[in-house]
């Protein structure tokens, strides 16, 4: 019996949602697929947060700092019961607020983002208040690797370390691609783990698509420092036709391509994609 | 009562308040020891301070955050606008040494666009006390207001004999007359009052208004006196673009009030750095020079005679 079968099924449904959101007006499909498994695992096995207590002061917080991957969060929140799955059909409709970046009107979304480099410090404010209250809830911040170009991230890390925010967990979605090019070709981040260590974070690297690896990594005890997890991921994970392609940053697929990608996701046939990526950055 | 002691009094009565600084401690030097963990110095990290303040506010705190006005409003602008502004969080931003108060620091430290930037953020209030008395009087309301507030920190000795209790959004009429209306705020209330006295002694009827807050703006008061006088003069240590002169001309135009407006402000340049009294004298903002600039604009004796 695969102890992660329920998570794998959930992750597959989340990927279906993401692909459907990439039809119509499109979405940042690659980044959404790269962090989908992480979000599924965190909401299913780690975070103490429930749809019927989304404002509970004792909840764990998850902040999506690289907000453009929000289709993954929409999908996970819907699958976890924070709002009806049918609501995902409202993506980009003016009668709802499911757009390309997160906002607080969506149940379960803690804060808006979209401008990179913001939510580590916002999460630190939340973490600081939790410590002032003497509570033990934790704050998880999902960042992109491209987002680590932003100086505000490193500034915030210095402060998080200085203030000993051991209830802060930063997870880097290390898919090695930023908007247009590979991270290592533009502003190299490596060696990333030692860099995060020297900024005062207890750092671990894991496979961001392996639930088993996540279970082992997230069960490791903290040592009093803020924590960083470098989740090695693949942009576009689950869809070989777009995996790791730098030009599949933001894509708006035709209806027939959406159906072909769903087929590909289920391993039935490869999708032939001709829609070009939009130039959005 | 000093700003620091009033802030401490408010902290003691309201446990939601946390005091933060990006290593700007001049006004709050005694608070770290007293407030303990509710005092948070993040070092020279304005962006992180604002982001953290937003996070603290999401948890129900009221952060009162301190930095030099330039670095707070410029370095951290996008954090103020995006994290505090979009969510309309109750973060209270205290900008130190704004405008001419930066003395001899030079253009890097001259906050002359802070009002324009802050009033451009939906939901942001902008409070510009004339002296420490007003700053202290305003502080309970600044804390109590549900949204974000930017304060042009000014803890100088009493600028004038204040005429009425401080109220957010209400200007203070310090003198009335039917020739000219002087509109000002902050540090320059004192010099404008001197100019007012000089002009009155020369026989002009002068209305002097200390606006006290620029957002919300006391538009009704401005319109009333703009209609009742022949010239409106805005006096501010701020760039002309986006400051009080912009607000007043917008207000008058929208109400179809055609009283001419003389803007006395910094136009397309920074001021010459020096100690404050010398800055005022050099830039033409001391009382006598302000009076002369106003008198020249209203056309000297001819107009006074016509209006008498």
Q: Which pair of structure tokens corresponds to residue A222?
A: 């903290």
Residue numbers of the domain that contains B81: 3-152
pLDDT of residue A244: 66
Residue numbers of the domain that contains A88: 5-265
Alpha-helical segments (H) within A187-266 = 192-198, 211-219, 255-265
Q: Is residue A198 part of a domain?
A: yes
pLDDT of residue A96: 96
pLDDT of residue B141: 97
Q: What is the tens place of the pLDDT at every residue in A138-153?
A: 999 999 999 999 999 9
Q: Is residue A81 part of a domain?
A: yes
Instruction: Verify that B119 and B237 share a domain, yes or no.
Output: no
> Which residue bears the tokens 């130190």?
B96
Q: How far off is chain A from B64, nearest CA to CA, in Å?
A: 13
pLDDT of residue A1: 65
| Mean pLDDT of the residues in chain B | 96
Instruction: Verify that B252 and B119 share a domain, yes or no.
Output: no
> Which residue bears the tokens 């576009």?
A236
A112: chain B residues, CB-CB within 8 Å: 82, 86-87
Q: What is the tens place of the pLDDT at every residue in B84-142?
A: 999 999 999 999 999 999 999 999 999 999 999 999 999 999 999 999 999 999 999 99
pLDDT of residue A78: 98
Rounded distance between C-alpha atoms, residue B143 and residue A41, angstroms: 41
Q: Which pair of structure tokens corresponds to residue B299?
A: 């056309």
pLDDT of residue B299: 75
Contact B51 A126 (CB under 8 A): no
pLDDT of residue A270: 84
Helix (H, G, I), strand (E, B) or coil at A170: strand
Work out how many domains chain B is built from and give that number: 2
Instruction: Verify that B240 and B106 share a domain, yes or no.
Output: no
Q: What is the tens place of the pLDDT at every residue in B276-294?
A: 999 999 999 999 999 999 9
Q: Is residue B162 part of a domain?
A: no
Contact B48 A110 (CB under 8 A): no
Instruction: Verify that B254 and B226 share a domain, yes or no.
Output: yes
pLDDT of residue A249: 76
Q: What is the tens place of the pLDDT at every residue in B178-235?
A: 999 999 999 999 999 999 999 999 999 999 999 999 999 999 999 999 999 999 999 9
Q: Is residue A68 part of a domain?
A: yes
Instruction: Verify that B234 and B148 share a domain, yes or no.
Output: no
Rounded distance between C-alpha atoms, residue B300 and residue A129, angstroms: 61
* B48 reaches A (C-beta below 8 A): yes
Instruction: Verify that B146 and B76 share a domain, yes or no.
Output: yes
* B157 reaches A (C-beta below 8 A): no
Instruction: Verify that B214 and B82 share a domain, yes or no.
Output: no
Mutation target to probe the A interface, by most A beta carbons within 10 A, among B19, B40, B52 is B52
Instruction: Verify that B301 and B177 share a domain, yes or no.
Output: yes
Which residues does A12 contact at the CB level (< 8 Å), separation at least 6? A265, A266
Read off the CATH number of the domain in which A114 is found. 3.40.50.970
Q: Is residue A211 part of a domain?
A: yes
Q: Is residue B166 part of a domain?
A: no
- The distance of Cα A81 from the centroid of its chain, to the nearest Å, equals 18
Nearest to B206, CA basis, from B301, B294, B305, B292: B294
Q: Is residue B158 part of a domain?
A: no
Q: What are residue A77's phi and psi, to 5 degrees?
A: -60, -40
User: Average pLDDT of A251-255?
Assistant: 89
Read off the CATH number of the domain in which B82 is found. 3.40.50.970
Contact B54 A115 (CB under 8 A): no
Q: How far off is chain B from A168, nearest CA to CA, in Å?
A: 13
pLDDT at residue A43 is higher than 50: yes
Mutation target to probe the B interface, by most B beta carbons within 10 A, among A61, A63, A125, A137 is A125
Final residue in a domain of this structure, among B120, B152, B184? B152
Final residue in a domain of this structure, among B97, B123, B152? B152
Read off the CATH number of the domain in which B220 is found. 3.40.50.920
Mutation target to probe the A interface, by most A beta carbons within 10 A, among B53, B54, B55 is B55
Rounded distance between C-alpha atoms, residue A174 and residue A233, angstroms: 6
User: Average pLDDT of B27-49?
Assistant: 98
Rounded distance between C-alpha atoms, residue A113 and residue B247, angstroms: 31
Instruction: Verify that B276 and B238 share a domain, yes or no.
Output: yes
| Integer CA distances (angstroms), A165 to A147, A200, A223, in order | 21, 10, 11
Nearest to B140, CA basis, from B149, B171, B38, B131: B149
Residue among A115, A125, A133 whose CB faces B52 most closely = A125
| Nearest residue on chain B to A124, alpha-carbon basis | B52
pLDDT of residue B300: 53
Q: Is residue A47 part of a domain?
A: yes
pLDDT of residue A278: 61
Q: Is residue B157 part of a domain?
A: no
Instruction: Verify that B188 and B280 share a domain, yes or no.
Output: yes
Nearest to B142, CA basis, from B167, B115, B112: B167
Residue among B43, B83, B86 whose CB faces A159 most closely = B43
Rounded distance between C-alpha atoms, residue B256 and residue B223, angstroms: 10
Q: Is residue B282 part of a domain?
A: yes
Work out how many domains chain A is built from and give that number: 1
Which residues does B174 contact at the CB level (< 8 Å), separation at least 6? B160, B163, B189, B193, B196, B208, B209, B210
Q: What is the tens place of the pLDDT at every residue in A86-113?
A: 999 999 999 999 999 999 999 999 999 9
Residue among A104, A121, A158 whose CB faces B52 most closely = A121
Residue among A115, A129, A158 whose CB faces B59 most closely = A129
Q: Is residue A42 part of a domain?
A: yes
* B82 reaches A (C-beta below 8 A): yes
Nearest to A240, CA basis, from A13, A39, A15: A15
Q: Is residue B276 part of a domain?
A: yes
Instruction: Verify that B146 and B26 share a domain, yes or no.
Output: yes
Residues A111/A72, Cβ–Cβ less than 8 Å: no
Contact B55 A125 (CB under 8 A): yes
Helix (H, G, I), strand (E, B) or coil at A217: helix
Q: A255-265 and A5-21 are packed helices; what angle lies between their axes, rounded to 10 degrees? A: 160
Instruction: Verify that B119 and B198 share a domain, yes or no.
Output: no
**In chain B, pLDDT over 90 holds for what percent of residues?**
95
Q: Is residue B238 part of a domain?
A: yes
Q: Is residue A80 part of a domain?
A: yes
Q: Is residue B132 part of a domain?
A: yes
């Amino acid at each position: 019996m695969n102890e992660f079968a329920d998570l794998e099924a959930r992750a597959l449904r989340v990927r279906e949602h993401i692909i459907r959101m990439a039809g119509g007006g499109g979405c940042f499909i690659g980044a959404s697929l790269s962090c989908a498994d992480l979000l599924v695992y965190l909401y299913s096995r780690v975070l103490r947060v429930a749809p019927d207590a989304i404002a509970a002061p004792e909840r764990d917080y998850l902040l999506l700092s690289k907000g453009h991957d929000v289709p993954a969060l929409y999908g996970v929140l819907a699958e976890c019961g924070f709002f009806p799955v049918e609501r995902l059909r409202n993506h980009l409709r003016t009668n709802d607020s499911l757009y390309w970046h997160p906002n607080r009107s969506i149940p379960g979304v803690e804060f808006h983002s979209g401008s990179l480099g913001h939510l580590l410090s916002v999460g630190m404010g939340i973490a600081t208040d939790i410590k002032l209250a003497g509570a033990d809830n934790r704050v998880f911040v999902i960042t992109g690797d491209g987002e680590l170009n932003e100086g505000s991230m490193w500034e915030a890390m210095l402060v998080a370390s200085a203030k000993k925010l051991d209830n802060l967990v930063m997870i880097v979605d290390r898919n090695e691609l930023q908007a247009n090019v590979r991270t290592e070709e533009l502003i190299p981040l490596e060696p990333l783990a030692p860099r995060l260590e020297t900024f005062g974070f207890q750092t671990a690297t894991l496979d961001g698509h392996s639930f088993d690896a996540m279970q082992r990594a997230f069960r490791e005890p903290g040592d009093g420092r803020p924590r960083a997890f470098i989740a090695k991921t693949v942009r576009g994970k689950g869809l070989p036709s777009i995996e790791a392609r730098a030009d599949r940053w933001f894509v708006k697929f035709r209806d027939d391509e959406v159906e072909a990608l769903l087929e590909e996701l289920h391993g039935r046939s490869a999708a032939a994609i001709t829609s070009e990526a939009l130039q959005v950055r | 009562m000093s700003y620091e002691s009033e802030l401490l009094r408010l902290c003691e009565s309201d446990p939601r308040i946390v005091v933060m600084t990006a290593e700007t401690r001049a006004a709050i030097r005694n608070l770290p020891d007293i407030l303990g963990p509710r005092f948070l110095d993040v070092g020279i990290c304005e962006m992180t301070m604002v982001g953290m303040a937003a996070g603290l506010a999401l948890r129900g705190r009221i952060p009162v955050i301190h930095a030099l006005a330039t670095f707070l409003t410029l370095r951290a602008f996008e954090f103020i606008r995006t994290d505090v502004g979009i969510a309309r969080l109750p973060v209270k931003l205290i900008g130190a040494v704004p405008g001419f108060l930066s003395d001899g620091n030079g253009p890097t430290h001259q906050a002359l666009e802070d009002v324009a930037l802050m009033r451009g953020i939906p939901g942001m209030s902008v409070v510009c006390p004339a002296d420490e008395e007003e700053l202290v009087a305003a502080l309970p309301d600044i804390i109590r207001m549900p949204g974000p507030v930017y304060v042009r920190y000014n803890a100088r000795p009493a600028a004038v004999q204040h005429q009425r209790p401080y109220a957010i959004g209400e200007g203070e009429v310090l003198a009335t007359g039917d020739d000219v209306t002087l509109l000002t705020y902050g540090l320059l209330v004192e010099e404008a009052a001197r100019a007012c006295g000089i002009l009155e002694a020369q026989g002009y009827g002068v209305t002097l208004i200390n606006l006290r807050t620029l957002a919300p703006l006391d538009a009704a008061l401005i319109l009333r006196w703009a209609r009742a006088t022949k010239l409106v003069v805005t006096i501010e240590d701020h760039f002309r673009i986006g400051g009080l002169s912009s607000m007043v001309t917008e207000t008058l135009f929208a109400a179809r009030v055609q009283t001419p407006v003389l803007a006395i402000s910094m136009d397309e340049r920074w001021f010459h750095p020096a100690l404050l009294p010398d800055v005022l004298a050099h830039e033409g903002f001391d009382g006598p020079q302000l009076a002369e600039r106003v008198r020249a604009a209203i056309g000297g004796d001819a107009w006074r005679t016509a209006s008498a």
